[in-house]
Structure 1
Amino acid sequence: MSANFFQLDVLLVEPSPVQMKIIRERVTTAGIIHIREAETMQAALEAMQWHRPDVVISALYLPDGDGTALVKAMRATPELQQTAFVLVSSETRPQALDEVRQSGVCGILPKPFSGAQLQRVLTATLDYLADEQAANDDDIDYEALRVLLVDDSPNARRFMRRVLTNLGLSNIVEAGNGREAVSLLEQTMFDLVVTDYNMPEMDGRALVEYVRGQSWQASVPILMVTSESDMGRLAAVEQAGVSGICDKPFEPATIRGLLRGALQHAA
């Protein structure tokens, strides 16, 4: 998809006038012309009710809440559930960012961020917002594929479903954890499993181990989309037989490449 950033309607949420000016300049330089501003969480929600933006670019810490509370409020509002969200923060602690990652965000930008970093996130946002299905450049019939999507976060599943649909996948069944996924795998044949790592009942690693060691669908491709940062845990998942691992949040182009590689390898 071409980078037609000028078509995006953006709401910037930042309490600092200095930071707001810097972010606005960066966003304007990227080619975006439709920009509104809000300094608080309440002001942002009111602005979105008046006119829904395509994407919200928000600081993590706000006077009356934070970016996590803002995106949660958006995901709890039906007309805002599909609005793209980008976080801008100097925070690096996984525990401070995990809830935002699980909410289905298009990207997390550092503070300060470069023009190249912004362009990558905006490109991912355009891919997410695309209404049309992406054109396939290989011989895989994506529309016919049966996909099992596993994540304990409804918001994350909603985000992933939209991304997968935009890639041409439409036959998608959802599970809230690995145990639910096992039950579905015992009853239905799938062509692809897309799963989170950290889940109650049965996590992603246990699910991969079950599929590879006990399921009648032992060869099904498994993609893991996760905010897990422990390299030891991720290495264990790779050893268990996962077909590919992608960070959360992710770029749809990355998922497209992983899908193509996993499905062609399984063919």
Structure 2
Amino acid sequence: MRHIAPSDLAILLVEPSDTQRKIIIKHLKEEEIHKIEEADSVQAALRQIRDHRPDLIVSALHFADGTGLELLRALKNSASDADIPFMLVSSETRKAQLEEFKQSGVIAILPKPFTRLHLGKALNAALDLLSPSELQLSLYDVTDVRVLVVDDSRLARNHIKRVLSNLGIVQMVEAEDGQQAIDILKNQMFDLVVTDYNMPEVNGQELTEYIRQHSQQSHLPVLMVTSEANDTHLSYIAQSGVNALCDKPFEPETVRALLFNLLEQH
């Protein structure tokens, strides 16, 4: 597949404020993006998507007829639209309000106001999703790499699998929580575990400690995905034996670099 440039993108901008739409469109045009459709409500966005499927949705959080999360959920529950990359633009900073977006496979959360650097990084994440590029490894054929994906959110698992699939990984097994992952690890061999941190019963840290201390695959590389922002907490997680930490949203470029380092070292 050819690499997609920003100028190739067809974007649906969903924002209730005329002023904010003009500001965001100005930023998008500075990135050479000119194919921009507009909607000012959740229902208007859904009608637009039915009529003309965009490559990327850039959405605000609050609307008179609902929220950006409701729009995202509607897309994720649609067989034809679930894979459209979704970018949130919001001044919201409360962790609880943003956590559901992070768990739902959003590709980026941009602050309001955002900088050109913020936008460029988010657009790159979208382009990476839309332009699969196989990870080149010297020690493995990437299609032989066996990955266990562990997350209690189905939407998050789907997003992680899509990113990994774009890198050429085809052998993936899913676990809905840490306990299910432990049961799977007792019977199957893997080359990599990608696990969420926050999960019921057995969390990602406890899963990693099991792998290191009790499993027959104690040297198995573990990439932990977390929305935790507390440095002290992250340091504590790292002490459990994880090989790498990755923030949510799960950004393809970051994941590519982390996986290359992890798999080339093992």
Give the letter for the 2:117 counterpart. Answer: A
Give the match's secondary structure for 1:87.
strand
- Give the aligned partner of residue 124 of structure 1: 125
- Give the aligned partner of residue 212 of structure 1: 212
Give the letter for the 2:10 counterpart. Answer: D
- Give the aligned partner of residue 61 of structure 2: 60
Partners of 2:160 and 2:250 within 8 A in 1: no
Percent identity for Structure 1 against Structure 2: 46
Give the match's secondary structure for 1:36.
strand
Partners of 2:4 and 2:130 within 8 A in 1: no
Instruction: Give the deviation of 1:13 after TM superposition.
Output: 0.5
Higher deviation after alignment, 227-236 or 111-120: 227-236
Q: Give the whole-Å Cα distance in 2 for the aligned partners of 1:174 and 1:242.
A: 19
Partners of 1:3 and 1:123 within 8 A in 2: no
- Give the aligned partner of residue 203 of structure 2: 203
- Give the aligned partner of residue 41 of structure 1: 42
Q: Give the whole-Å Cα distance in 2 for the aligned partners of 1:194 and 1:68.
A: 25
- Give the aligned partner of residue 91 of structure 2: 90
Q: Give the whole-Å Cα distance in 2 for the aligned partners of 1:140 and 1:67.
A: 41
- Give the aligned partner of residue 241 of structure 1: 241
Q: Give the whole-Å Cα distance in 2 for the aligned partners of 1:21 and 1:250.
A: 29
Partners of 1:205 and 1:236 within 8 A in 2: no
Give the letter for the 2:68 counterpart. Answer: G
Note the alpha carbon deviations across 1:128-165, whole angstroms, 9 max, x for none. 112x4335264432110100000111111111111001
- Give the aligned partner of residue 144 of structure 2: 144
Residues 137 and 147 of structure 1, relative CA distance in 2, 3 Å threshold: closer
Moved over 4 A (4+): none
Partners of 2:146 and 2:172 within 8 A in 1: yes
- Give the aligned partner of residue 50 of structure 1: 51
Instruction: Give the deviation of 1:43 after TM superposition.
Output: 0.7
Give the match's secondary structure for 2:228.
coil
Give the match's secondary structure for 1:152.
coil
User: Which segments of 5 or more consecutive residues in structure 1 lack a partner in the other structure?
Assistant: none
User: Which segments of 5 or more consecutive residues in structure 2 lack a partner in the other structure?
Assistant: none
Q: Give the whole-Å Cα distance in 1 for the aligned partners of 2:199 and 2:137.
A: 34
Q: Give the whole-Å Cα distance in 1 for the aligned partners of 2:152 and 2:135.
A: 30
Partners of 1:133 and 1:165 within 8 A in 2: no
Q: How does 1:220-259 map to 2 (within 5 A)?
A: 220-259=220-259
Q: Normalising to structure 1: TM-score of the pair?
A: 0.95
- Give the aligned partner of residue 111 of structure 2: 110
Give the match's secondary structure for 1:73.
helix
